[in-house]
Amino acid sequence: MHKIPVTVITGFLGAGKTTLVRHLLQNNQGRRIAILVNEFGEVGIDGELLRGCQICDEDENPQDNIVELTNGCLCCTVQEEFFPTMQQLLERREQIDCMLIETSGLALPKPLVQAFRWPEIRNGATVDGVVTVVDCQALAAGTLVGDLAALEAQRQADPNLEHETPIEELFEDQLACADLVLLTKTDLVDDATLTQIQNFLKQELRPGVKVVPCHHGEISPEILLGFNAAVEDNLDSRPSHHDQEEDHDHDEEINSVQVIFDQAVDPKAFLTKLKELVATEEIYRIKGFVDVANKPMRMVLQGVGDRFDSYYDRLWNASELRQTKLVVIGRSLDLDLISAKLRN
């Protein structure tokens, strides 16, 4: 029996991983693709969006093709959830052409790849490649690594620099593990900034790893799939900040809170509240569904920093409860405080 080729999609919060996976599903060129979504937070926002792609056959249950882990990073839940999930998928491997794993924006990719060394998994699956998605505009704004020129000057002056923040280390680990980097939101920066960012990324990547601009996740499956890298057998060339540790430590102050309330909202007023909230709290990512007053359709909301995007994806079902459900990810977030600010 063949090994299932697995493509790991990693990247920072809001970089566009789900958009990329959605586009690949809608342009799968006949491939039977199993999806494993790793959601940070208790509301399965990304998984529900993926299930709405309508790519499964009419006689198939989409739930059978999309597997969702809901309690944090894959590197932390690898034995509790990932292992039995992979066992279930491997039992169906004759029905699967390839698999995508979309990691949490806070997950380290390397511990996930290491799990494919386990005999129970490596006999049936191999990591075909790791694709890291990078938000060009956020990087240009210094959201992840600060000012690029200043950072480079600092690194050249002090090669033994050890005081990177955990998020910076995470970003570097995601780049170090990559077989391909997709640069999203390039249309939001000027040509000079784009060139600067591409040059910076190339310096951070292993020789031969390409940086490819990607608009709204629209990229050919032929580019994303078929690396044949067998990454689990080639980890020594992909250094991590946590290689010398038995277990990695997350920044314990990073957390997610789930906000749910029943009253319908005015979208403009609600967006104003969200921007005010982001201005006063250290929030990295907001995503969820919004019940808009006097609107029969459900609104999907996604925010990174003070940038918010929204669209209406479908009609509310008669059998479902109309609620606003948001996952807010950031540092030292207080659920009661955030709920109060959004309700007032």
The CATH number that applies at residue 114 is 3.40.50.300
Domain termination residue (choose one: 208, 237, 266): 237
For 313-333, what is the mean pLDDT?
A: 91
Cβ pair 301, 43 in contact under 8 A: no
Please list, in sequence order, all residues whose beta carbon lies within 8 angstroms of the beta carbon of residue 262, skipping any fewer than 6 positions away.
Answer: 291, 321, 322, 323, 324
d(CA 229, CA 174): 16
Q: Is residue 314 part of a domain?
A: yes
- Residue from 177, 228, 180, 223 nearest 2 by CA: 228
pLDDT at residue 231 in the model? 93
Q: Which of 40-49, 188-197, 246-255 has the lowest mean pLDDT?
A: 246-255
Are residue 82 and residue 126 in the same domain, yes or no? yes
- Residue 288 phi, psi (nearest 5): 160, -165
Using one digit for the tens of pLDDT, what is the confidence trace for 215-256? 888 998 888 898 899 999 988 888 787 676 555 555 667 788
Percent of the chain surpassing pLDDT 70: 84
Q: How many CA atoms lie within 13 A of 7 on its CB side?
A: 25
Using one digit for the tens of pLDDT, what is the confidence trace for 89-130? 898 888 899 999 998 777 778 888 998 998 889 999 999 999
Sole residue written with tokens 């999609």: 9
Are residue 214 and residue 321 in the same domain, yes or no? no
Domain termination residue (choose one: 237, 263, 290): 237
Are residue 270 and residue 199 in the same domain, yes or no? no
Decide if pLDDT at 140 tops 90: no
pLDDT at residue 190 in the model? 93
Q: Domain of 291?
A: 254-343
The CATH number that applies at residue 332 is 3.30.1220.10
Are residue 157 and residue 292 in the same domain, yes or no? no
Q: Which of 11-15, 39-43, 243-247, 336-340 has the lowest mean pLDDT?
A: 243-247
pLDDT at residue 275 in the model? 93
Q: Is residue 100 part of a domain?
A: yes
Mean pLDDT of the chain: 83
pLDDT at residue 155 in the model? 45
